[in-house]
Amino acid sequence: MAVDVLCEVNNCKFWADGNKCAADRIYVVSHTGKKAKKQEETDCKTFDPGL
């Protein structure tokens, strides 16, 4: 399991100094089913603009 999860989306409510993700959990999905072949086929569903 990753110790540090980095994120550069600084308008997410889970973004913390040093480009760290402060969320308790990270939820990533694939556009193509259960197996993604490249990074562009995935999305982070943990993103929350905190509006």
Domain assignment of residue 16, given as a range:
1-51
Question: For the chain, how many structural domains are there in total?
Answer: 1
Q: Tell me what pLDDT residue 9 has.
A: 94
CB 31 within 8 A of CB 42: yes
Q: Tell me what pLDDT residue 44 has.
A: 93
Whole-prediction pTM: 0.78
Q: Tell me what pLDDT residue 3 has.
A: 83
What token pair was written down for 34? 């259960």
pLDDT in tens, 1-51: 778 999 999 999 999 999 999 999 999 999 999 999 999 999 999 999 987
Q: Secondary structure of the chain in the HEC alphabet?
A: CCCCCECCCCCCCCEECCCEECCCCCCEEECCCCCCCCHHHEEECCCCCCC
